[in-house]
A and B are shown apart, each in its own frame.
Chain A
Amino acid sequence: MSKLYSVAALFNTPDDIMHAAAKVADAGYEKYDVNTPYPVHGMDGAMKLKSSKMGYYTIAIGLTCMSLMLFFMYWVYNIDYPQVIGGKPLFPLPAFVPIMFEITVLTGAVLTVAVMLIFYFKFPNNAHPLHDSGYMKAVSSDKFGINIEAEDSNFDLDKVKAFLSSLGAYKVDEIYFDEEEANTKHKILDTKFVFGMFLIAGFTSLSVYLHMNKVLYMPPFDWMLVQHKVTSQDKSDFFNNGISSREPVKGTVARGFMPYLFTDDPEGAAENLVNPYVADEENIALGKRKYLTYCSPCHGDLGKGDSRLKGQFPNGPTVHSDKVKSWTDGHIYHVISEGQNVMPGYKKTVTRKERWAIVNYVRTLQRALDAKEEDMQ
């Protein structure tokens, strides 16, 4: 069903259109528009348009985003991860200026254009009644047009046509549009659309799979996994024994470690080793931290043998048994260092001081869970 959109008149020269626009504005029409192939100087005045306010958007957007960026950089450097870089203060304002400036320009420019296109012009809009009309083809090239919309309150078809002709238009047309076509709603379950979405989903999944599982492991994207050098666990033909690295000389002691004299000799350890650390608050705190890291997975947080393993690995025994209570500090230290039954030794991962601290903590636990009268006082 066709409906009248507007009456459109075409003029030949810029002078004519200026004159006509001024007359139309004076005649009290409000829903009209002038279409020219390029901006004609002074047309704003002739059409009595208010001056454009785009500049205020730019300033508002630019300054807002600049402040947000400044706050973001402040947050990163002072709150989220304070870090001194290059001897600069934590809030190096001069160093922030370049980025603040760039953000102002970037957001100011891009968002102003977006505001103009989307909110002012309601673009993209290729379904406007004027499109594809002879009128549009003329004004896009070399003619100057004015069109008064049927929705204008003063609109009267014959009067408007006569009025426009009297202004010197060489051609006056009526422009119709198909109401149904203009209002066609797109269905979301349209077959083509659904098929397209499936296609995109399939393509995305496939490419993500290939990317994450195949491409990333091929050179040169392989995170430098393949390197032309011998790494520590490699086989190597260079040495007779086929090992890539040399064994340390016998008796080598790593820095910070002491040789342990009682390997395979728990009794010796129990008799000879004496805890060199006083069980003060600091030492017990260290012991607790290390105990919770290394021991508690099997022995439980309080050493009751009630671990979180749920049978996936044999539970460690309780440390509150009379047997353990009767052990000397040296004996416990030996078990931590060398392990016992399925328990591995921890001397390579836990330092000497930490092991003694754990011993102190175990002692603390034993006493805490079996507190006597006098402890309460």
Chain B
Amino acid sequence: MSNHEKKIEYTKKELPKGFLKYGLPLLLIGIISVVLAYQFDPMRASFNNIIALLVVVSVGMGAIFLVALEHIAGAVWSVPFRRIAEHQGFIFLATPLLAIPIIFNMHDIFEWTHNSVVLNDPILYQKSPYLNTEFFIARSVGVFVLMTFFLFVYLRNSTKQDTTHSQKTTKINALISAPFMVFFAIGITLIAIDYAMSLEPHWFSTIFGVYYFAGTFATAMAVLTLITLSLKSNGNLLKEINRNHYYSMGGLMFAFTAFWMYMAFSQYMLIWYANIPEETFWFLPRMENGWEYLSIALILIKFIIPFGLLLNRNSKMNPSRLKLASFWIIGAHIYDMYWLVMPSYNRMSGTEGPVFGWIELSFIALSAGIILVFYYLAARNKNHIPIGDPKLNRALDFHI
């Protein structure tokens, strides 16, 4: 195993054309249809906007987390993909584009912004030190600024290392990842509580942040896998990257699919069993008016199918199977967010049952466009491999 003197041959290459070819039209269609959606039905649009935001946060913030996780755990196998994750983290910078419309339409979305309701409701009144517009915006901005700061630190350190090959950078990255983890834990919990849980301001669940995190991790990993596979087939990555590396990606997606089910079951089970009205009312709308089918389908879509897709050892290494599983996991996360958010739309707008139409599709298109275009912007003309990382050679020699 003493081949760490081996020279790595890496030549920079243009990104695959697909990023712009699909990304720009999706983004344009997305923007136009979203503007129309806000004209046509602002309330439904703003709820969909929340879904899009939660998905994009998962992809971007999750990627920053993956970078930090590698640093703090000292992981080796993931080194060749770290630059991709760093560029993927760049997608997080798009979140203000999605968050600003929400903040302008808060009155449509959040019941706790209605002063008359809050003043007549002792529980909401008691929560108002936390649930108020100013603090809400401050929290969002705070999380955004902190995460962006760490993202740029990681990106700068990593690109600098391409030329310096310094071991010290790796050590510094490990050090700053520790505080990052703390901020990330707080940040993702705040996002989950603010943008998803406070849609039903009376409801509370301590596990909610972890629930969102489970989906986030799997989704970020799925996007990372998809980008890796497309870059690999385009020849942007090193030839040494092989099935052994894919196995780890597939394994992590598999593990977090199971972890999500664990979180979801824990939350449902405890609320179902204790049967306290203060908590059960959150699940009730999801069990009637057609939502019951979507709830059962959620278990199938978000757990059983991806679990089955990735259960076999060989399927975790098979690129085409991984591609299918990754697309499925991303889709399942969007579905999960829809399931999380839209029953509140029913309540606020007085409609019944799940709705699906061009407004929902336009926000999905917008998210997809944002992900592709922002990745393109971040990664264009850059190295896709952290060629200066001292662990790279060991990573390429990695076997299961």
A binding-site residues for B, Cβ under 8 Å: 41, 55, 59, 87-88, 94-95, 97
State whether B275 touches A94 (Cβ < 8 A): no
Q: A37 → chain B, closest Cβ, in Å?
A: 20
State whether B275 touches A97 (Cβ < 8 A): no
A-B contact pairs, 11 of them (CB 8 A): A41-B399, A55-B312, A55-B313, A87-B275, A88-B273, A94-B269, A94-B272, A95-B269, A95-B273, A97-B265, A97-B269
State whether A94 touches B399 (Cβ < 8 A): no
Bound: A87/B276 CA distance, A: 13
Bound: A55/B312 CA distance, A: 9
- B268 is an interface residue with CB less than 8 A from chain A: yes
State whether B313 touches A94 (Cβ < 8 A): no
Please indicate the chain A residues that have their CB under 8 angstroms from the CB of B272 in the complex. 94
Bound: A139/B342 CA distance, A: 65
Q: B317 → chain A, closest Cβ, in Å?
A: 13
Closest residue of chain A to B313, judged by CB? A55
Please indicate the chain A residues that have their CB under 8 angstroms from the CB of B273 in the complex. 88, 94-95
Bound: A284/B313 CA distance, A: 73
| Smallest CB-CB A-B distances: 5 pairs | A94-B269, A94-B272, A94-B268, A97-B265, A95-B273
Interface residue tally for chain B (C-beta within 8 Å): 10
Q: B397 → chain A, closest Cβ, in Å?
A: 13
Q: Chain B: interface secondary structure?
A: helix
Q: B298 → chain A, closest Cβ, in Å?
A: 15
Please indicate the chain A residues that have their CB under 8 angstroms from the CB of B312 in the complex. 55
Bound: A94/B265 CA distance, A: 8
Q: A40 → chain B, closest Cβ, in Å?
A: 13
Bound: A41/B1 CA distance, A: 14
Closest residue of chain B to A95, judged by CB? B273
Q: B82 → chain A, closest Cβ, in Å?
A: 26
Closest residue of chain B to A56, judged by CB? B312
Residues facing A in B294-320 (CB within 8 A) are 311-313
Please indicate the chain B residues that have their CB under 8 angstroms from the CB of A41 in the complex. 399
Q: A312 → chain B, closest Cβ, in Å?
A: 57
Bound: A180/B399 CA distance, A: 48
Cβ proximity bits B353-390 to A, threshold 8 Å, 1 near / 0 not: 00000000000000000000000000000000000000
Please indicate the chain A residues that have their CB under 8 angstroms from the CB of B311 in the complex. 59
Q: B400 → chain A, closest Cβ, in Å?
A: 10
Please indicate the chain B residues that have their CB under 8 angstroms from the CB of A87 in the complex. 275
Please indicate the chain A residues that have their CB under 8 angstroms from the CB of B268 in the complex. 94
Closest residue of chain A to B268, judged by CB? A94
Please indicate the chain B residues that have their CB under 8 angstroms from the CB of A94 in the complex. 265, 268-269, 272-273
Please indicate the chain A residues that have their CB under 8 angstroms from the CB of B399 in the complex. 41
Q: A272 → chain B, closest Cβ, in Å?
A: 59
Q: B312 → chain A, closest Cβ, in Å?
A: 8
Residues facing A in B237-270 (CB within 8 A) are 265, 268-269
Q: B247 → chain A, closest Cβ, in Å?
A: 14
Cβ proximity bits B41-72 to A, threshold 8 Å, 1 near / 0 not: 00000000000000000000000000000000
Bound: A41/B265 CA distance, A: 39
Please indicate the chain A residues that have their CB under 8 angstroms from the CB of B313 in the complex. 55
Bound: A41/B399 CA distance, A: 10
Bound: A55/B316 CA distance, A: 15
Bound: A87/B275 CA distance, A: 10
Residues facing A in B311-331 (CB within 8 A) are 311-313
Which residue, A55, A59, A94, has most C-beta atoms of chain B within 10 A?
A94
Given contacts A55-B312, A88-B273, A97-B265, 12 further A-B contacts (CB under 8 A): A41-B399, A55-B313, A59-B311, A87-B275, A94-B265, A94-B268, A94-B269, A94-B272, A94-B273, A95-B269, A95-B273, A97-B269
Bound: A41/B273 CA distance, A: 49
Closest residue of chain B to A42, judged by CB? B399
Closest residue of chain B to A88, judged by CB? B273
Please indicate the chain B residues that have their CB under 8 angstroms from the CB of A88 in the complex. 273
